[in-house]
Amino acid sequence: MGKAFFIFLILAFMVVTSLSFVTAQEQGSPTPEEQDKGFLDNLSETLGSTAKEVLEEKLEEWKKTYKGKVTAVKVLKEEPDHIVLEVSFEDVKRPEETYVTGEVLFGGVPASNFVVDRIPLTEKRGSLRLNVYYVEPETYEMEAGRSDQIVVYLYPAGAPEKRFGEYYLALVRTWGSSSEEEAGITLTDESSPTNEEAKPSPVIPEGSFPYPKLSPVFFTKTYDFYDKAELAQWRSSYGTLPFSGNPNDRRGFVRKISAGHLSTGNNARKLLETRPPRERRGWIEGEYPALVLAKGVHFQAAAGFLKGAQASDGAIFKLYVKDSQGHRHRVLAQYVRPGRYVHLDADLSRFAGQKVALILHVSAWRTPTQDWAVWVAPRLTIP
């Protein structure tokens, strides 16, 4: 409707409101709902139903009310750490200011380590796809997550706590994988597992070596991954990568930055940038030369993003220990959001005395956009 018509409606509203006020003085004060209803009915009789519908929308906008509901939720796709939901909604009064998202529940309370899309609406009714991701927690046992429900709801832009139109769906499942192997990754120097049970690597007592004619074993107590980055074998989902890499390489790259700024604004030194390839859920990793760990050794670092990486949706930083049998053990996995950094600490005591190779691994989250992932001062140390 044109501006002139809307001004006319407002003037009509003022006139009818004034008349209603006079009548209310004579007959007793009606409720606000009765006032609105009486005005709209009178205006509908005078100007028609179109004017009533327009003014209803303007009144809703003036009152800043949000209405609507999620009417159905169906599971379209399932993966160990990811599902896709089809969400249907209707009767949304202010779609241009309304978002849809959800929350994974277990035992009636929100479950941790889940990320759910937040999608703006454009229509009053319709359907869309909603992604739900499980981020494996930083724990040495890597236990799988559990859920029994998911609630999908609407909320006003900027106010996620004012949720409405909820829909609950039974979602009894176990998330993640208990396997120590990284799903979807095939390494060129690793053979497929055989039926023979893997034998543990022998533990060599510190300060000794098993055969007198061989060189003594040197136990590693400290190690600087930044300084020795050029000794690692770097690769991505595209294959082997050079060191140091080119920032324009779409296959991903690794490089050292002696000093810089994190996305949080903090100054940092010894930044090892490991940027995944420009593809959905791409990954990059570096396998360092084998060494024998001393007792009490920990891996420590900080994980974050370079300054300016505000458009990233996060990345997952992982540490693997590859034993002498070629089996990879995941000892650390940490999802890091943009605009923050996380201190990493992994106790490697259970590998003391064993000859192992350590692997730094970074995988993109949903998109590779600005995944300028950095390890700050990655090292082995005895706290």
pLDDT digits (tens, 9 = 90+) for 333-361: 988 888 888 899 999 999 999 999 999 99
What Å distances lie between residue 154 and 59, 158, 302, CA to CA? Answer: 21, 12, 36
Predicted local confidence at residue 375, as pLDDT:
95
Q: Are 87 and 130 in contact (CB under 8 A)?
A: yes
Q: Where in the chain is the domain with CATH 2.60.40.1930?
A: 69-175
Predicted local confidence at residue 194, as pLDDT:
35
- Most distant pair of Cα atoms in the chain: their distance: 113
Query: Under the phi-then-psi rule, with left for phi > 0, alpha for psi from -120 to 50, and beta for the rest, what region is 353?
Result: left
As a whole number of Å, the CA-based R_g of the chain is 30
Predicted local confidence at residue 12, as pLDDT:
56
Predicted local confidence at residue 106, as pLDDT:
86
Predicted local confidence at residue 210, as pLDDT:
44
Among the four given CATH numbers 3.40.50.2020, 3.30.360.10, 2.60.120.200, 2.160.20.10, the one describing domain 219-381: 2.60.120.200
Nearest to 297 by CA among 219, 210, 359: 219
Predicted local confidence at residue 318, as pLDDT:
94
Predicted local confidence at residue 217, as pLDDT:
55
Predicted local confidence at residue 263, as pLDDT:
87
Q: Domain spanning 69-175 has what CATH number?
A: 2.60.40.1930
Give the Cα separation of 345 and 357 in Å (integer): 17
Q: Which residues of the chain have pLDDT under 70?
A: 1-64, 136-144, 177-217
Predicted local confidence at residue 111, as pLDDT:
86
Q: Where in the chain is the domain with CATH 2.60.120.200?
A: 219-381
pLDDT digits (tens, 9 = 90+) for 137-148: 544 344 567 888
> Percent of the chain beyond pLDDT 90?
43
